Amino acid sequence: MADNTATISRTKVSPLSNTEHITAFNKKFTIDYTTLNAVTGATGATDTVSITLGALPAKWIVDKAAINVTTAFVNGTGTMTLAIGTTSSVTAFFSATSLTTAGLYTAANGLNSVTTPADSKGTATRNMLATITATGVAPVSATAGSVDIYLSVVDQTKLG
């Protein structure tokens, strides 16, 4: 199993619509199969791809997380999962969830929560990561798929 890295393109980070803001999310990232296809080293049947989503502020809390698999990832007979977290806890915001079935998924504790609250805050900046794990197929073999990641990131220095 090899871990491969990538950084999300700025074109895949977008401002949220008013409807999305109502749910209290303030960050949206889109990852599609072409992001995986571009990671040339991700050719093993148990490889992972760790995609850097961006940096967190110096004092931060991530208090909400959701993913929306808008198009199921297609890759032959294998499966792929997605976990969301940081460089120190890759599942802090969202546990590994299948990308092979379209749908909206919330953290285990519900829409107003993250997977591991203790790891979802910090006093030093670190990168947010989306970790895609392939089982039985290489990540670069995906021929379709798209997922939107929604996070609520709070910069504690901006709080009174």
* Phi, psi (deg, nearest 5) at residue 46: -130, 25
- pLDDT tens digits along 6-38: 777 777 777 666 666 656 788 899 999 999 999
- pLDDT tens digits along 100-120: 999 999 877 665 677 777 788
Confidence (pLDDT) at 71: 96
Ordered by where they begin, the domains of the chain are: 3-158 (2.60.120)
- Specify which residues 3 forms β-bridges with: 48
Element of type H or E holding 20: helix 18-22
| Ramachandran area for residue 103 (φ above 0: left; ψ -120 to 50: alpha; else beta) | left
Nearest CA-CA partner of 129 in 56, 60, 75: 56
Instruction: With a cut of 70, say whether residue 40 has pLDDT above it.
Output: yes
Confidence (pLDDT) at 17: 66
User: pLDDT band at 56, cuts 50/70/90?
Assistant: very high
Confidence (pLDDT) at 18: 65
- pLDDT tens digits along 145-159: 999 999 989 888 887
* Whole-angstrom distance, CA of residue 139 vs CA of residue 48: 7
User: pLDDT band at 78, cuts 50/70/90?
Assistant: confident
Confidence (pLDDT) at 22: 59
Q: In 3-state terms, what secondary structure has residue 117?
A: helix
User: pLDDT band at 132, cuts 50/70/90?
Assistant: very high
* Whole-angstrom distance, CA of residue 133 vs CA of residue 154: 28
